[in-house]
Structure 1
Amino acid sequence: MSLYPVAQYIFLNQAEYNRKGATALCSKQRKNIITILDSRIENYLDIFTDKPAYFMKKHSGMRPHDIAVLLKIASKGKEPWFMKDLAYELEISASEISESINRSMIAGLISSDKRTLRKLSLLDFLKSGLRFVYPQQPGSMVRGIGTAHSAPPLNSEIVSAEQYVWPYGKGNVRGQAIKPLHPNTPEACLKDKKYYELMALTDALRIGKVREQTIAFDMIKERIEHT
């Protein structure tokens, strides 16, 4: 919504009041017109000062890496951060980070200050929506970095002959390929243990059996709620 039609609308109503002339109206009529104009102005000011979604791009749906960005923020806990930090550490462009956080704000997963996670909403989405929105099936055998139950911390709770990995040329584990939420996730996780744990646990929600999903969610919840 543009400010121009708002200003034009208010101007035309004020012009109508001026055209009729204050002297041609009784005091009650003048009071009613002024009250209506004041109310309309207040409504429009409320839209443009308290509801920033009007200024944002149309929400065209969440992207897989939006979850990666939110979990990176979660991994930082109370540590201060800037968007440029996220861009560097996740190896995602600054513009993509900005657009990602805007989408998450509209979706109600981060507050309007674009810094505070809405933890309950994020946890609800991870538990009930992630595996349906971003499903994944194990692929061919490749070399990479362990994920899901093949990575910490879940590998200390789940013992399985199946190995799941993110494809990564420098990895030292062979297993079935799992496509990460962003192509640069393996590199980003190697630089941040806390982030690695959250991303690996998230994959367990996407591809794990019921028991694995339950344990993984409890671990994610503990980490996010205590940040």
Structure 2
Amino acid sequence: MALKPQDIVVILKLCGYGANRPPFAQMAADLSMSSSEVHAALKRAQAARLIHGPDLNSQPNLSAIEEFLVHGVKYAFPAEHGGSTRGVPTSYAAAPLNRLIAAGKKPIPVWPHPEGKKRGIALAPLYKTVPDAALRDPALYQKLALVDALRDGRIRERKLA
């Protein structure tokens, strides 16, 4: 069973719940996904040993998640760029990296989104619902922006992420 990009989104959201994980339906609503997508993502994460335990109510395996994100996510789910668009800032242009890295003169990376307030170069999100989920959950937004820095960033950005 191979991981899919949305599995990373579900795993990052799962990390934010701690021990108080809600039912699949609530996770799905938080991520703008279906319950079956969340369930399937957790099954794949379990098969990849990114969550501990024999059942889907298990906790995230933080060391395995960190290792995969630092060393594998840019190869498994490489960044895809598009043209100039309006959207939600990501990677080094979003918190927390935007406090450490100046954007400079080149356009910033953004997830295309109709409610986006910044103009930049489109960076395809890991999954189509990422901008909506990120706008509802600031902690998830930061995690997803850091993952984009790992997927797309230069050496300095990846080290800071």
TM-based fold match above 0.5: yes
Deviation at 1:113, TM superposition (A): 2.9
Pick from 62, 74, 78: which aligns with 1:131? 74
Kindly provide the amino acid, as one letter, of the partner of residue 65 in structure 1: Q
Q: Find the counterpart in structure 2 of residue 68 from structure 1.
A: 9
What one-letter code is carried by the residue in structure 2 that aligns with 1:204?
A
C-alpha separation in 1, matches of 2:98 and 2:89: 9
Letter of the 1:195 partner, please give it.
Answer: L
Unaligned runs of 5+ in 1: 1-58, 217-227
Q: 1-side partners of 2:21 and 2:6: how far apart?
A: 21
Aligned residue among 32, 36, 41 for 1:95 = 36
Give 1:194 shift. Answer: 0.4
> Is this contact kept in 2: 1:75–1:198, CA < 8 A?
no
Contact 2:14–2:21, Cα closer than 8 Å, also in 1: no
**What SS does the aligned partner of 2:144 have?**
helix
CA contact (8 A) 2:19 2:59 kept: no
RMSD value over aligned CA atoms? Answer: 1.1
Residue of structure 2 in register with 1:197 after alignment:
142
User: Could you state the TM-score of these two structures normalised by the residue count of structure 2?
Assistant: 0.94
**Alignment of structure 1 residues 48-197 onto 2, 5 Å:** 59=1, 61-111=2-52, 112-114=54-56, 115-161=58-104, 162-197=107-142
For 1:198 and 1:136, the matched residues in 2 are separated by 16
Q: 2: distance between equivalents of 1:143 and 1:107?
A: 35
C-alpha distance in structure 2 between counterparts of 1:78 and 1:197, whole Å: 20
* TM-score with structure 1 setting the length: 0.67
Assess if the C-alpha contact under 8 Å between 1:144 and 1:166 holds in 2: yes
Could you list the per-position Cα deviations for residues 116-145 of structure 1 after superposition, in whole angstroms to 9, with x for gaps in the alignment?
Answer: 001111100001000011111432110000
Say whether the 8 Å CA contact 1:130–1:205 is kept in structure 2: yes
Which contiguous aligned blocks of 4+ residues in structure 1 show a shift greater than 4 angstroms? none
Q: Which has the larger radius of gyration?
A: 1
The whole-number CA distance in structure 1 between the counterparts of 2:24 and 2:155 is: 35
Query: Using the alignment, how far apart are the partners of 1:113 and 1:213 within structure 2?
Result: 33
Aligned length: 157
Give, in whole Å, the separation in 1 of the partners of 2:118 and 2:15.
27
Task: Give the equivalent residue in structure 2 for 1:207.
Answer: 152
Higher helix share: 1
